[in-house]
Amino acid sequence: MEGALREPGGLFADVDKTVAVIRVTLASRFAYLGEMLVRTIFLLLILFTFAQLWRATQASQNVSLLTGFTIAQLIWYLAFTEAIMMSAPAFTELEVDREVRTGDIAYRLARPLSYPLYHLGLSLGDRLLRFVLNLTVGCAVAAVLVGSISLSPASVVAGLLAALVAFLVDWAWTFAISLLAFWLEDTTGIHLLYRRCVMLLGGMLLPLEAYPSWLERVARALPFQYIMYQPGRLFVAPEATNLAPVLLGQGFLLAGGIAVMLAIYRLVQSRLSAQGG
Amino acid sequence: MPAAVQITDLCKSFTRRVHQTGAAGKFRALFRPRQETVHAVRGLNLEMQVGESLALVGPNGAGKSTTIKILTGILHPTSGDARVLGLVPWRQRTRLAMNIATVFGQRSQLWFHLPAGETFDLLARIYEIPSAEYRARRREMIRRFELEPLIGTAVRKLSLGERMRCEIAASLLHRPRILFLDEPTIGLDVVAKQEIRSFIRTLNRDEEVTVLLTSHDAGDIEHLCKRVIIINHGVSVFDDRVSTLKRRYLDRKVISLRLLEETADRPDLSALRDWPGVTILTARNFGIKLEIDTEVRTMAEVMARLGEWPLADITIEDPPMEEIISAIYKSAQSASRTASGGEAT
């Protein structure tokens, strides 16, 4: 066998490979469609519970708006943020953790595909399908429970775009946490803490306006809002907030997450190449 | 033509923490952890020509996987040099990865819930194979590995042998120059093993793919490789042709005789028992099995004596390859035990 050696392409080739991983992950996850649909039952329960809760609160306070939102907006907000949360691919977190712990990461490195980009492809492929499914079911349930809200195409696009960037931000930070398994053996605890922070301080159940003022100040000072609250708010109340500052905040957070992740990844790589895992 | 693989005085050492027992030991370890150095590879030299098929054999912990990881660019050596296809693996890993393939018998690259064809499509993108070239190569691999009835079936529904055929075909889509095989037939039944070996042999011959195999299966070594390197404790203890290995270490032959009369009727059987260099393994009904130490007794002498017996059938066998390799491991281990002391630092 003769001839020149095959040369790896540049950035465009890397993007193409990542897209190919997303595509094949999507195809593979269709095998779990039944399991994903069963999980949406939880969405139905939580939306029903909160619809009852807000109605009771509204009746007791005798107001039409709760913290500036109608009940319908609050339920649609919850449907959107729950769709983001429930699409979080626990599979990817565990997979990176396992590969780092067992040394299988070494075998992935023997292919001409960046390890972080491979996992980004896995994560996005998994997450996009779950998100679309959860959002569809969530919106349908919200429409039945509280009726429709005025969703403009601009608000839908803004919310979806912010959610997509939120997925990237979330991936960068969770991937960085998973890489810590190289030193900590098991990162499940840190992942749990991170997820709880995203849920509670990110404003998954309620918009931050509904928090006590001191907690709202804390939550607004923390980055978790860019994964939950900001995309959710864009989706239900586009007139109250602009897309640009949200994307700017997310951009900073994404850049920070990627910088931290790459720093840890380089440490893992150098340790791996010296010690073999 | 330059060598496909060239290793010169390759060494790789790891340090690892020694777990101390007891509460006091664990407390002490917080401040003064004890470490030991493990020398996985010590001064390994090796050269492989393009199209050669070589088996790297050794017991667990001998340094095989470490060597493969260095050659694929995953590990940096502590000292020494290695070139694979003229590239320094740990400095040019991605470039090297585009031109080699690895098949690990216990790790699958196929997507479990999808047909193997989907993984083929993904690998075509990962290895940046132009569409027309990929389509032609895919057809060729399907024909060569007889995958037509399997390619559209979800991998989870395939047998292990079928899966391994898909696995190897997938690894070869980008026409790698070197194929690293790690236990490619582990867990397969006899028929599937033969099929896999036959496919790899054909590829090695037709496409001049250089094959570096690590396996504990002596059958893989015998059927796939012309040359074998046995390493133990990171040192090469044998490097020669497989046929030489068999010849050099075959100082025993097993002869199975089928007689025309009951063995109990043979008066010279007890005399054979006292003959130096000959051991009677079994003697029952019409059959006798003898082991001959050819360093003590020549086969000509044995055959001359047995020629007087009323023979119905005779079979002469070499001891299995496993026994030969095991004997080399044991002799190397006892030699290293006497030569080396403790290595804890």
Is residue B230 domain-shared with residue B89, that is, in the same domain? yes
Q: Are the CB atoms for B80 and B8 separated by under 8 Å?
A: yes
pLDDT at A123: 92
CA distances from B312 to A166, B260, B306 (A): 82, 6, 12
Is residue B257 domain-shared with residue B244, that is, in the same domain? no
**Closest-approach residue (CA) in chain B for A21:** B122
CB contact under 8 A, A5 and B85: yes
pLDDT at A2: 59
Nearest to A1 among B66, B98, B209 (CB): B209
pTM: 0.82
Nearest to B128 among A9, A21, A274 (CB): A9
Average pLDDT, chain B: 85
Residues in CB range of A120: below 8 A, 6 or more apart: A18, A21, A168, A171, A175
Residues in chain B with CB shorter than 8 Å from the CB of A28 are 111-114, 118
Is residue B311 domain-shared with residue B184, that is, in the same domain? no
Tens of pLDDT, residue by residue over A41-61, are: 888 899 999 888 888 887 777
User: Does residue B157 fall inside a structural domain?
Assistant: yes
Query: How many residue pairs from chains A and B have C-beta atoms closer than 8 A?
Result: 92
Tens of pLDDT, residue by residue over A155-187, are: 889 999 999 999 999 999 999 999 998 888 788
**Closest-approach residue (CA) in chain A for B72:** A110
B23 burial class (0-12, 13-18, 19+ CB within 10 angstroms)?
exposed
Q: Are the CB atoms for B96 and B87 separated by under 8 Å?
A: yes
Would you say how long chain B is, in residues? 345
pLDDT at B234: 84
Number of domains in chain B: 2
Average pLDDT over residues A241-253: 91
Is residue B12 domain-shared with residue B99, that is, in the same domain? yes
Q: Is B127 on the interface with A (CB under 8 A)?
A: yes
Is residue B69 domain-shared with residue B97, that is, in the same domain? yes
Query: What is the SS3 assignment for A214?
Result: helix
Is residue B140 domain-shared with residue B127, that is, in the same domain? yes
CB contact under 8 A, B76 and A273: yes
Q: What angle do CA B103, A32, A134 make, to 5 degrees?
A: 130
Is residue B208 domain-shared with residue B305, that is, in the same domain? no
Is residue B204 domain-shared with residue B302, that is, in the same domain? no
Test the B interface: residue of A23, A24, A117, A118 with most B CBs within 10 Å:
A24
Q: In chain B, positions 14-43, which contact chain A (CB-CB < 8 Å)?
A: 14-15
E-strand spans in B85-209? 100-104, 178-182
Residues in CB range of B96: below 8 A, 6 or more apart: B72, B73, B84, B85, B87, B89
CB contact under 8 A, A8 and B98: yes
Is residue B87 domain-shared with residue B148, that is, in the same domain? yes
Is residue B296 domain-shared with residue B193, that is, in the same domain? no
Tens of pLDDT, residue by residue over B114-152, are: 999 999 999 999 999 999 999 999 999 999 888 999 999
User: In this structure, is the dihedral angle defined by the CA atoms of residues A248, A253, A258 and A260, taken in order, positive or negative?
Assistant: positive
End residue of a domain, out of B224, B248, B272: B248
User: Does residue B68 fall inside a structural domain?
Assistant: yes
What CATH number is given to the structural domain containing B293? 3.30.70.250
Q: Is B88 on the interface with A (CB under 8 A)?
A: no
Q: Are strands B252-259 and B235-241 parallel, antiparallel or unpaired?
A: unpaired
Tens of pLDDT, residue by residue over B95-115, are: 999 999 988 887 888 999 999
**Structural domain of residue B193, as residue ranges?**
5-248
User: Does residue B338 fall inside a structural domain?
Assistant: no
CA distances from A128 to A83, A134, B246 (A): 10, 10, 58
Is residue B258 domain-shared with residue B306, that is, in the same domain? yes
User: Does residue B326 fall inside a structural domain?
Assistant: no
Residues in chain B with CB shorter than 8 Å from the CB of A273 are 74-76, 90
Q: Are the CB atoms for B263 and B283 separated by under 8 Å?
A: yes
What CATH number is given to the structural domain containing B90? 3.40.50.300
